[in-house]
Amino acid sequence: MWSTALLLVIAACSVSATQRVAVIGGGVAGASAAHYIRQAIGEASIEVFERNQLGGRAQEQDCDGVLVELGASIVWHKNYLVKDLAAAAGLECVSPPSDGLLAVYDGKELVFEQSTWGIVSLLRLILRYGFSWWSFRSAPAAMFEKFTGIYPLLDNGTTFDRPEQLLKAVGLYEYTQASLFEYLRENYGSSLDLLAKELIAGVNKVNYNQNNMQINALAGHVSLLPATEPSVFKIKGGNSQLASRVLQVANATVHCPAAVAAVQQLADGRFQLELQKQAGHGCPAGDVQAGAGQCAESPSGATAPQPFDAVVVATPLEGSGLTFPGLHLPVIPARKFQQTVATVIKGAVRPSYFGLSAMTYSAVMVTEEAAVPWSSLSLLGRTASDNVTLWKLFSSERLPHAWTEMMFEAGYEVVVNKTWSAYPKFDPPEDMAPFKLADGLFYAAALENAASAMEVAAIEGRMTAALAVKHLRAAAAAQQAGQGPQLVQAGAERAAEEGAAAAA
Ligand SMILES: Cc1cc2nc3c(=O)[nH]c(=O)nc-3n(C[C@H](O)[C@H](O)[C@H](O)COP(=O)(O)OP(=O)(O)OC[C@H]3O[C@@H](n4cnc5c(N)ncnc54)[C@H](O)[C@@H]3O)c2cc1C
């Protein structure tokens, strides 16, 4: 009899109702959050709400046989979390084609031209910039040394309620408090000025469409890593797969399209989501399979069926349309987002636009002061059907027809025009929102105005997952502490009844 009662007591202590977690946003941050919550709490129910397409700002499009990344396109080789997520999802990381030469344009002429001969490129670098580039060469790697301190913290499950605490713990906070321009001036005097205005600004315009005065020094160094140590990868088949496959492997239920309009807290501390009616593209059926990462039909305009024990907001609040009625949130500093337009053009670049007799470069960056409406030009490949070159341009606004006519030979065709609310308009000294908005409510995109990249999104997802897990465990423990005595009592009573029945 006593052994039966003991079993009931043990069962009562280990049984807890399945905890439900909502993740708002199906980009890299949302997928990362779902993955790490699943790793920590195998039996949790994880539901992801995505209003548009899984992948978020990582989206690709097939342009006549060339898979074009319209948003996030490359990942630096030491971005360990993206690599881990890709491996967990069974995705292959491949090197993008690296053939082709780079040039830098100041709006009138090419001021730097890479040569097929490494030694010639080196001489050109020295001739134009002296040895300043040499002194700066190791600066992004030195920053990354500190950045790698984030990984053991994440592995140990260390949590921080605020991004500043995380950045201070690894010695990176100061980088977010000055512009890249100020940082370079402070550390190198004016010796880097020309290099900064041309090559460094060129890279930052490609990556963030912002100049050295606007960008904070952390984002500036993150952006320069692939330039100083050029080893990058992308996900075979398209970067958007990182989110969709990771969600599948995490066995998350994906509601898509499902735009969350409001997050409300109930009297018992749990959360209810209110969904918005909205037309979207829907989940790519091939990417999300029922039973794995289920693509559930979303109950548009309704309230999600049950309350959630924790909510991770895995999207920048700006532009999300999310409201938090009745919740007293901490101060969330206002951020603006940089608009970037990705234009894919099929056709031939006019060499004369760059003062050339033949277009020998596959990538052209622009200097800080170049008075042109585009910020980068890169060769994507050749169309499968007619072997014509495809080019991608980034710009802040849709490129005026007059400009594309000037840059491309007659007969060119604009294949894609995609406008992004791309990344924060950096505004050092950066003031960041907390990761923890309330008990059980977490905000991944809080770190994005320190630097914006898929790796940063993966880190944000993992940090908010750790915070959510901590909250869920504490809630489960509190629940057990509250219910335990009753359950023990009930078990003893049932055991006593069983004993009485057996005696009879
Ligand atoms: C043009 C461009 C080029 C880039 N290049 C690179 C690069 O080469 N390498 C790199 O590492 N990074 C790059 N980035 C940055 C990178 O894409 C982002 O930092 C990263 O993808 C952000 O991921 P996220 O999950 O935080 O946000 P997102 O990808 O924006 O995901 C948030 C998701 O939430 C959804 N959502 C928003 N509101 C709601 C709501 N109310 N309800 C439900 N769902 C909602 C959105 O639809 C979106 O899918 C680039 C970005 C752009 C735009």
User: In this structure, which residue's CA is closest to atom 28 in ligand 1?
Assistant: 56
Chain segment 276-302, per-residue pLDDT in tens: 865 444 443 333 333 333 445 444 445
User: In this structure, which residue's CA is closest to atom 35 in ligand 1?
Assistant: 25
Cβ-based neighbours of 190, under 8 Å, separated by 6 or more: none
Whether the ω angle into residue 257 lies within 30 degrees of 0, i.e. cis, is: yes
Pocket test for ligand 1, best of 273, 454, 463 (most atoms within 8 A of CB): 454
Of 3.90.660.20, 1.10.645.10, 3.90.180.10, 3.40.50.300, the CATH number of 99-129+337-424 is: 3.90.660.20
Measure 251 CA to ligand 1 centroid, in angstroms: 21
Q: What is the mean pLDDT of residues 40-61?
A: 97
CA torsion, points 405, 406, 412, 413, in degrees to nearest 10? -50
User: In this structure, which residue's CA is closest to atom 19 in ligand 1?
Assistant: 453
pLDDT at residue 309 is higher than 60 = yes
Sign of the alpha-carbon dihedral angle for 345, 351, 352, 353? positive
pLDDT at residue 16 is higher than 70 = no
Chain segment 259-274, per-residue pLDDT in tens: 999 999 999 999 999 9
C-alpha angle 212/217/220, rounded to 5°?
65
Question: At 1, is the pLDDT very low, low, confident or very high (cuts 50, 70, 90)?
Answer: very low
* Residue 141 tokens, joined: 């790697």
Residue 504 one-letter amino acid: A
Measure 165 CA to ligand 1 centroid, in angstroms: 24
Nearest CA to 26 among 332, 250, 215?
250
Q: What is the mean pLDDT of residues 13-24?
A: 76
* Residue 61 tokens, joined: 């499009």
Q: Please say whether the beta carbons of 310 and 19 come within 8 A.
A: yes
Pocket test for ligand 1, best of 206, 308, 315, 447 (most atoms within 8 A of CB): 315
CATH for 2-58+238-334+434-483 is 3.50.50.60
pLDDT at residue 10 is higher than 60 = no
User: In this structure, which residue's CA is closest to atom 15 in ligand 1?
Assistant: 453
- Residue 278 is predicted with a pLDDT of 56
* Residue 456 tokens, joined: 């940063």
Measure 222 CA to ligand 1 centroid, in angstroms: 17
What are φ and ψ of residue 462, in 5° steps?
-70, -40
Q: What is the mean pLDDT of residues 414-439?
A: 98
Measure 405 CA to ligand 1 centroid, in angstroms: 31
| Averaged confidence pLDDT in the chain | 89
Chain segment 200-225, per-residue pLDDT in tens: 999 999 999 999 999 999 999 999 99
Q: Tell me, yes or no, if the pTM score tops 0.85.
A: yes
Measure 56 CA to ligand 1 centroid, in angstroms: 4
Ligand 1 residue neighbourhood (C-beta within 6 Å): 24-30, 49-52, 56-58, 71-75, 259-260, 314-315, 320-322, 340, 342, 420, 422-423, 445, 452-455, 457
* Residue 396 tokens, joined: 């802040």
Domain boundaries, the chain: 2-58+238-334+434-483, 99-129+337-424, 140-151+165-222
